Chains A and B, each alone.
Chain A
Amino acid sequence: MRVLIVEDSVLLRAGIGRLLEDEDMEVVGEAGDAESFLAAWETHRPDLSIVDVRMPPTHTDEGIRASVELRAKYPEAKILVLSQYVEERYAKELLADGHGGVGYLLKERIADVGEFVEAVARVADGGTALDPEVVAQLFARRRNPIDALTPREAEVLGLMAQGFTNAAIAEQLIVSSATVEKHTSAIFQKLMLEQRSSDHRRVLAVLQWLDK
């Protein structure tokens, strides 16, 4: 897999690079700010870009804005945004275009290499990877209807919102795929959501419902 790293901290850039190379991924380019990110993407056309939110010149949300801008021009661009802290606002801005291939994770998740690599693969594959903390923030907004779900169903809803497939959810909860499917259809029924074919569409449906 060919990856572009966009991160202004040299230290972190090198750290992420080492980690990806351990996993047999190729770092095709590096950028330290939004402008050079867009240029580098056009040059390298990577399979995935890993983008930091805070970059020069204003050190606020350049990464989010550049990602939204890039995906408006190239909807096929796959982007995994990393941040020191996560905000549901940023997640919504990233997901707003409705295309798959977006991730938004806390930087510290990289430390759990296995899970991080799995998220990288999912995003590169057109899926979604949302940080559990973002999902928690969204849940906090919609407490009452979620009360209608059983604790297990709420757990499954959370994992669905993070972007996991039924198979991955089954693996995490150590249950069979059939059980997960039973839970998901119960959730969709209770929340009055249409069943979606692709995983990414399912994530969007869940998120749209959470944001209602």
Chain B
Amino acid sequence: MGIDATRRCEVKRFTMSRLLRGSSYGFLGLPFAVLWITIFSTLLSVSFSMLIIGVGFILLSITLRIAGVCASAERWALAETLGVDIPPAPRMITEGGFSGFITNPLRDGSYWRELTFLCIRSIVGVVSFVIVVGAWTFPIFAITSFSWGWATEWDFSVFVVLFFLGFLSLVIGPLLVLGVTEVQVAMARSLLGPGQRELIQRVDTAQRNRDLSVEAAEAERRRIERDLHDGAQARLATVAMDLGRAKRKLERNGGDAEVSAIIDSAHDDAKAAIVELRDLARGIHPAVLNDRGLDAALSDIAARCLVPVHLDVQLLHRPAAHIESAAYFAVSELLTNVSKHSKANNAWVTVRSDSQMLRIDVSDDGLGGVDPGIGSGVSGLQDRIQSIDGTFSIHSPLAGGTSALVEIPLKTKAI
């Protein structure tokens, strides 16, 4: 936000470069205006006169499509001269086929707004051109009037007035140039950019897509965990079992000591691999979370924390799977930090929910001074919580003690 504010100050300050940029944009007003008047007065009058016989609709649709192309040229001019980037409005109606090709522009507000811009620009463009040319030439003409005034038969008082007007215009001219530029930029933003409805729709779509991808990631994690359980974990368990049998048979039959040693080490490695694989699977998706919910899953991580944890979970309803999962990983991550860095004697995990919000409080009586910027764990956690519209804050004074608060809105998805 800080950066934004500075940038705005810069833009609003009067500078020579701004004047030059505004002037070049204003200067382009004339050629653009001439082009748009020529093209659209012709096209629109022909289209409207033929509306009665239907062909007019096709012509009007083509006119709108041409307006779309011309609007791109205007956006380009704005970007090149003023550095103002206006994203094109998304086309909301995109039906296929010939009928779509004809009716889409007619029904899509973004085309009509572009056409409106071009019509207004035909007038304002000329005005801006006049202002720019005037602002640059009038002061020169007026102030230097004494030097060429002898050639005219004007009264002396005219030169005096011109002289002062010349100086006055040195101030007013640039202000007018900047003013007309601002007006045109504002016009372009509202008519060439995405409209209010499109923005809302875009946000809705983005949110829906994000929710879908959060759920898809969740389902994917569950699937990987299942595959591990059914595949590698089962096979490895069989290997360890058979090695165990071999070991026992050797013990009974008194086999070769060297072979025994090899089998022993293979047996130990297989068992270690099972443990590692189990921890990995639990990290991907803890199965108990699905089966028994947050309370049971949290008591498991609380038990494995090196610092004694006082766990208190009271939930009004069982939250949706992706929320449970995010809450689980939040507590897991925070308790890992407590174990690793805090040197605490006690930790407290409190989980509460009402109909709106899930609140997780993880605190400890350790060293404090946790910097949320350092260590990707906490920032990764922040990202994950934000991806489901939650908030994360951490309070960790240097004096000691850390408390982290995670709040996740439950929306309507709670069962």
Contacts and interface: CB of A to CB of B under 8 A. Distances in A.
Interface of A: 9, 11-12, 14-16, 18-19, 22, 54, 59-61, 84-85, 87-89, 107-108, 110-114, 116, 136-141, 143-144
Contact of A136 (B229, B287, B290, B303): B303
A137 B288 CA distance: 14
A136 to B, nearest CB: 7
A16 B237 CA distance: 10
A112 B244 contact: yes
7 closest A-B pairs by beta carbon, nearest first, are: A140-B303, A111-B240, A137-B303, A15-B238, A113-B244, A111-B244, A108-B274
Contacts of B287: 54, 60, 84-85
B296 A89 contact: yes
A110 B278 contact: no
B245 A85 contact: no
B141 to A, nearest CB: 88
Question: Do most interface residues of chain B lie in helix, strand or loop, or is the interface mixed?
Answer: helix
B317 interface: no
A158 to B, nearest CB: 14
Contacts of B309: 140
Contact of B241 (A16, A139, A141): A16
Interface in B291-347: 291-292, 296, 299-300, 302-305, 308-309
Contacts of B299: 88-89, 137, 141
B46 interface: no
Interface residues of B, number: 39
A45 B115 CA distance: 84
B234 A11 contact: yes
Nearest to B297: A87
B275 interface: yes
B275 A108 contact: yes
A84 B241 contact: no
A61 B287 CA distance: 9
12 contacts: A12-B238, A15-B242, A59-B229, A84-B278, A89-B296, A108-B237, A108-B275, A111-B243, A111-B274, A112-B244, A140-B302, A140-B308
Given A108-B271, A137-B303, A140-B304, A22 B278 contact: no
Contacts of B267: 111
A88 B303 contact: yes
B248 A114 contact: yes
Residue from A9, A60, A61, A136 with most neighbouring chain B CB atoms (10 Å): A9
Contacts of B271: 108, 111-112
Given A12-B238, A59-B226, A89-B288, A113 B247 contact: yes
A87 B288 contact: yes
Given A18-B245, A85-B282, A141 B291 contact: no
Contact of A143 (B233, B296, B308): B308
Given A88-B303, A110-B241, A22 B234 contact: no
Given A111-B244, A114-B248, A143-B308, A15 B302 contact: no
A107 B244 contact: no
B248 A110 contact: no
A73 to B, nearest CB: 23
B230 interface: yes
B170 interface: no
